[in-house]
Amino acid sequence: MQRTFPLLSSGRRGLDIRSVRLAAACLLASLGLALPGPAWALSLQDARSRGAVCETTDGLVRATTQSPEVSALVSETNARRMQAYKAEAARHGVPVSEIQGVSATQLRDRHAPCP
């Protein structure tokens, strides 16, 4: 049996789950096109290829050029990484610095390390 979602003001047949998912995807896509700033912001890969960021020995990124866009990218990236490092450290019962060190080695092998 296919799940349906009743329409609020009519007795007609409700929407099926595929229609709801399609509507949600269209809404998200349209919001992505309408949003200024972060939706079109510099990606980490773009910043790496431009030499705007480098990988540090503690598993974080550092700006090598100063701009508001790069600063925002660095802050956001480092916040996400620290959240992931803390979760992984808690899961394994080890210090966060240990997770950061392992990650830093892998990241610096693949991407430009900071001098």
Q: What does the pLDDT look like over 44-84, one tens digit per residue?
A: 999 999 999 999 999 999 999 999 999 999 999 999 999 99
Instruction: Identify whether residues 104 and 48 lie together within a single domain.
Output: yes
Q: What is the mean pLDDT of the chain?
A: 78
Question: Could you tell me if residue 115 is inside a domain?
Answer: no
φ/ψ of 93, rounded to 5, equals: 65, 40
Contact 89, 103 (CB under 8 A): no
**pTM above 0.85?**
no
Ramachandran category for residue 65: left, alpha or beta (phi over 0 → left; psi -120 to 50 → alpha): beta
Instruction: Identify whether residues 46 and 87 lie together within a single domain.
Output: yes
Instruction: Identify whether residues 68 and 88 lie together within a single domain.
Output: yes
d(CA 53, CA 37): 19
d(CA 55, CA 106): 10
Residues 31-40: contacts with CB under 8 Å, at least 24 apart:
none
The number of domains in the chain is 2
Range of the domain at 59: 41-110
